[in-house]
Amino acid sequence: MRILGIDTGERRVGFAVSDPLGITAQGLETFDAREGIDLVDHVKGLVERYGVEEIVVGHPVGLAGHAGESSRRASQLAKLLGERFGLRVTLWDERFSSEEAKRVLRGQRAPKTAIDKLAAVIILQSYLDYRRRSD
Domain boundaries, the chain: 2-134
Average pLDDT over residues 111-121: 82
- Looking at the DSSP bridge assignments, the partners of residue 13 are 31
Radius of gyration of the chain from its Cα atoms, rounded to whole angstroms: 14
**C-alpha to C-alpha distance for 20 and 31, rounded to whole angstroms:** 22
Q: pLDDT class for 93, splitting at 50, 70, 90?
A: confident
pLDDT tens for 43-84 read 999 999 999 999 999 988 766 666 678 888 899 999 999 999
Q: Is the pLDDT of residue 20 over 80?
A: yes
pLDDT (0 to 100) of residue 90: 96
**Fold held by 2-134:** Nucleotidyltransferase; domain 5 (3.30.420)
Interval 28-43: pLDDT, tens: 999 987 766 799 999 9
Structure pTM?
0.86
Provide the pLDDT for residue 67: 65
User: Which residue would you say has higher pLDDT here, 114 or 14?
Assistant: 14
